[in-house]
Amino acid sequence: MGRRRRKKVVKIIKRTLPKFFICPRCGGRSIHVTISPGEGNASVRCSLCGLTGEVPAPPGSQPVDVYCKFSDMFYARKIA
C-alpha cells in the first residue's frame, strides 16, 4: 500500500522597499532619505562620507524615487 503524500507548503515572500540605499560616492549602504511632506522637498544624506543633497519630491513620492533622482543628479555632476 502506498503512503499518503503531504502537500508542499509554498511560502510567498513579500519584498519590502529598502530603508537605506547605496551611496554613489563611497559605495556604502548608508544613504538615508527623509521626505518633508509639507515643503515638497526631500533631504538625502550619507552617514559614512557626509554626502548631502536636497531633491524636489512631489506629493506621493516614495524614498526610492527620491534616491533615483538623487543618484541621477550626482552622476550628472549637479551634486558634489
Question: Would 9 be classed as within a structural domain?
Answer: no
Question: Would 5 be classed as within a structural domain?
Answer: no
Q: Residue 56 has which C-alpha cell?
A: 524636489
Question: Would 56 be classed as within a structural domain?
Answer: yes
Look up residue 1 and give its amino acid: M
| Neighbour-count burial for 18-47, b at 16+ CB within 10 Å, e otherwise | eeebebbeeeeebbebebeeeeeebbbebe
Question: Would 46 be classed as within a structural domain?
Answer: yes
pTM above 0.75, yes or no: yes
Give the model confidence (pLDDT) of 33-77 as tens digits. 999 888 889 999 999 999 999 999 998 899 999 999 999 999 998
54, HSE (Cβ side, Cα atoms, 13 Å): 4
Question: Would 29 be classed as within a structural domain?
Answer: yes
Range of the domain at 35: 20-75
